[in-house]
Copies of this chain bind each other. A is one copy, B any other.
Amino acid sequence: MNSLEVCLSPRLAHLFSFEHKTAVIIDIFRATSCFVTGIANGIRSIRTVSTIDECKIWQDKGYVGAAERGGMKVEGFSLGNSPFEYTDKALAGKRVVATTTNGTLAVAKSEKAKSTILASFLNISAVAAYLRENHEDAILICAGWEGQVNLEDTVFAGALIDKLVSSHQPVGDPSSLSLISYYTSKHKLNDLLSAGEHAQRLLNLNLRKDIDFCLQWDLCDLVPVLKKGEFSL
């Protein structure tokens, strides 16, 4: 058995040792759901950066720029943080550079990990299979919201742990909390996650369709992996 830990917020990442482990980035609403969707639709690679300025620099180098702050697309970029933007067939073969409020910080915090992958409900079974097959200890990093622990990423962590009982031993109280929150809510998952703080924020922006999209299980059978600074297949 390998071990599996849960980091409930990027602000707690310094408490974990990432060496020799696989970091699993979770930002259900909406960064990892977007990136998985984009890669499934033929985007060649996605580079995540922490700041708007960095994003501009890479956009100027020819990348398609995606920038979101506070749920909204930032002016001057081609994409925001809605999964529907990432299904555009014109993006096939393109390189994307992206910065979002929470998800890209979670990626930055995983820099010492042996490998880093992207997880969402859209590819949960593929992620579970990847982790089962690569035989490495794993840390699930929940992106949260501006440092706060959130509901959807925590519950997703529990759902993923539930798929890994044969290969990974959950370690630590945060993994227990994730499992408890998933077991409690699994029969009413969409109701619960739609009631979360972040979902409410998206609903206020008329983004119900984004929420529903991000809560679909196993829409694609792939796992974006970080290679030379960019996520790709």
- A71 in the interface, Cβ–Cβ < 8 Å? no
Quick one: CB contact mask for A140-184 with B, threshold 8 Å, 1 for yes? Answer: 000001111111001000000000000000001110110011011
Interface of A is mostly: helix
Q: What's the tally of chain A residues with a CB closer than 8 Å to chain B?
A: 27
- Give Cα distance in the complex from A145 to B195, angstroms: 29
Which residues of chain B come closer than 8 Å to A145, judged between CB atoms?
Answer: 173
Q: Are B11 and A12 in contact (CB under 8 A)?
A: yes
Nearest B residue to A199 via CB reads B173
Given contacts A150-B173, A172-B197, A173-B196, 6 further A-B contacts (CB under 8 A): A9-B12, A11-B12, A11-B15, A148-B172, A154-B177, A184-B184
- Give Cα distance in the complex from A174 to B184, angstroms: 15
Number of copies: 2
- A216 in the interface, Cβ–Cβ < 8 Å? no
- Give Cα distance in the complex from A85 to B151, angstroms: 39
Q: Are A183 and B181 in contact (CB under 8 A)?
A: no
Q: Are B198 and A173 in contact (CB under 8 A)?
A: yes
Nearest B residue to A152 via CB reads B173
Report the 4 A-B pairs with minimum CB-CB distance, sorted nearest first: A151-B173, A150-B173, A184-B184, A173-B197
Which residues of chain B come closer than 8 Å to A106, judged between CB atoms?
Answer: none
Distance of A153 from chain B, by nearest CB (Å): 9
Nearest B residue to A185 via CB reads B180
- Give Cα distance in the complex from A9 to B148, angstroms: 10
Q: Are B173 and A181 in contact (CB under 8 A)?
A: no
Query: Which of B147, B173, B180, B184 is in CB contact (< 8 Å) with A149?
Result: B173
